[in-house]
């Protein structure tokens, strides 16, 4: 009896050891993760040597748009490699959550797919005691329309046709409207299966803005984060939509360009009415953003994108994501880090990093204003 109890005790002790050991190990694991994996970044870290770390110290928390997550990851990694002792945590949740966190004062800046709404600006005045929240355009990117159609390697569409496809008004791939834009292509008699985001998303809203502006008579829905049209099928996240397009013959869907690249999905060229159909690429998106006007007042640099641009090689289906900060009244303990970090992201070097990740740099004319504004933050 006694013996048995002893072995049982020993077993419990062993079990406890195993559990606590596992806990310690996992704790180590998560530490390593936040430190950032340095796979294949050696060369880039060197390039970031002229980051200015003046006034940066301690920890900076930020939150928001997942559309700019990959860009943020690159920036944060390089910045932290250059400025030791500074820690930046960008929590890529969603634009909505980012703005909520910003207006509660829990983050130094927020990333957002769309500019602050008037009521959000009003809210921000509580956090920015002497000023208000402003938008700084930091990352641009093309929204790619990917398709999967066996036997068809390239496809050109224009805004009205895209609108009708996503509104399920055009139901077959061999529809006249598509055939007219793609002379010579062998379009099969197959049902079009349009996929959209099933959860609310800034990408959906930006697609809606584009279709509403470029094809007003075919897209009568308001540009909202939720998918407005009754037809089509939904999938979760950009990765979910991309996976469905990859899987289903006859599918068409929209997502950031990087998903098309990583999943090897063919993207649609857009006929803007210019000289030639335009491919979805970072460079072409930058050209379209260059046609944008600043609509924000004061230091706010919210952009008014020109979706109907016919400029050569300008891909009009773009989104611009912003960093939201206070113009004045930033928290003293994070102000230095925010200024230093955003100065780096808006620098030529920081913007150059974007193209490697499938994003589009902000055109020089706007970027200059962004840098001026950042240096004037207080």
Partner 1 sequence: MASTTQTQTPPARPGGRTRPTPTGRLGDKIFLGLSRGSGILLLAIMASIAVFLSYRAAIAISKDEGNFFTTFDWNPAGSPPVFGIAVLLFGTVVSSIIAMVIAVPIAVGIALFISHYAPRRLAAPVAYIVDLLAAVPSIVYGIWGALVLVPYLEGLNLWLDQFFGWTYIFEKTEVGVARSLFTVGILLAIMILPIVTSVSREVFLQVPKMNEEAALALGATRWEVIRLSVLPFGRSGVISASMLGLGRALGETMAVATVLSPSFLISLHVLNPGGGTFAQNIAAKFGEADAFGRDALIASGLVLFVLTLLVNGAARLIIARRKEYSGANA
What does the binding site for partner 1 look like in residue numbers (CB under 8 A)?
A: 93-97, 100, 171, 191, 193, 198-202, 222, 224-226, 230, 233-236, 240, 243-244, 247-248
Q: Which is nearer to partner 1, 131 or 202 (CB)?
A: 202
Q: Which is nearer to partner 1, 70 or 94 (CB)?
A: 94
Cβ closest to partner 1, residue 87 vs residue 199? 199
Q: Which is nearer to partner 1, 249 or 364 (CB)?
A: 249
Only one residue has tokens 């990859």, namely: 246
Shortest Cβ distance from residue 255 to partner 1 (Å)?
Answer: 16
70-204-321-246 Cα dihedral, nearest 10 degrees: 20
The dihedral built from the CA positions of residue 23, 24, 26 and 27, taken in this order, carries a sign that is positive
* 23: nearest Cα among 34, 31, 11, 33: 31
Residue among 93 and 328 whose Cβ is closer to partner 1: 93
Nearer to partner 1 by Cβ, of 92 and 373: the residue is 92
In the complex with partner 1, the residue whose CB is nearer, 45 or 233, is: 233
**308 near 214, Cβ under 8 Å?**
yes
> Least distance to partner 1 from the beta carbon of 94, Å?
4
Alpha-carbon torsion, ordered 331, 333, 339, 340, to 10 deg: -170
Task: Please state, in angstroms and rounded to a whole number, the distance separating the CA atoms of residues 310 and 292.
Answer: 13
- Quick one: 117 exposed, middle or buried, by C-beta within 10 A (0-12, 13-18, 19+)? exposed
Could you tell me the two tokens for 14? 């062993």
Contact 56, 345 (CB under 8 A): no
The secondary structure of 261-311 as a DSSP string is HHHT-EEPEE--SSSS-B---HHHHHHHHTT-EE---TT---EE--TT---
């Amino acid at each position: 009896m006694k013996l048995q109890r002893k072995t049982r005790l020993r077993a419990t002790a062993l079990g406890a050891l195993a559990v606590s050991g596992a806990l310690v190990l996992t704790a180590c694991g998560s530490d390593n993760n936040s430190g950032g994996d340095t796979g294949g970044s050696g060369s880039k870290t060197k390039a970031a040597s002229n980051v200015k770390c003046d006034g940066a110290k301690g920890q900076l928390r930020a939150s928001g748009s997942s559309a700019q997550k990959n860009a943020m990851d690159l920036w944060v990694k390089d910045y932290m490699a250059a400025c030791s002792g500074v820690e930046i945590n960008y929590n890529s949740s969603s634009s909505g959550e980012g703005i909520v966190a910003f207006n509660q004062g829990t983050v130094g800046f927020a990333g957002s797919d769309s500019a602050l709404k008037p009521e959000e600006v009003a809210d921000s005045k509580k956090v920015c005691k002497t000023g208000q929240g402003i938008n700084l355009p930091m990352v641009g990117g093309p929204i790619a329309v990917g398709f999967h159609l066996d036997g068809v390697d390239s496809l050109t569409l224009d805004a009205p046709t895209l609108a009708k496809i996503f509104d399920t008004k055009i139901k077959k791939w061999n529809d006249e409207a598509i055939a007219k834009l793609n002379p010579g292509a062998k379009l099969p008699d197959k049902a079009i299966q349009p996929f959209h985001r099933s959860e609310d998303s800034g990408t959906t809203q930006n697609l809606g803005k584009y279709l509403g502006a470029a094809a007003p008579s075919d897209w009568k829905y308001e540009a909202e984060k939720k998918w407005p049209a009754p037809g089509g099928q939904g999938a979760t996240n950009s990765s979910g939509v991309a996976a469905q397009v990859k899987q289903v013959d006859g599918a068409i869907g929209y997502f950031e360009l990087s998903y098309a690249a990583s999943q090897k999905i063919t993207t649609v060229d857009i006929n803007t009415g210019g000289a030639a159909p335009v491919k979805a690429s970072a460079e072409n998106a930058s050209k379209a953003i260059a046609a944008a006007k600043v609509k924000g007042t004061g230091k706010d640099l919210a952009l008014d994108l020109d979706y109907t641009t016919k400029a050569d090689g300008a891909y009009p289906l773009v989104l611009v994501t912003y960093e939201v900060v206070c113009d004045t009244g930033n928290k003293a303990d994070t102000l230095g880090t925010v200024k230093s970090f955003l100065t780096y992201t808006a620098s030529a070097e920081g913007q150059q990093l974007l193209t490697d990740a499938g994003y589009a740099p902000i055109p020089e004319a706007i970027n200059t204003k962004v840098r001026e504004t950042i240096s004037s933050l207080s």
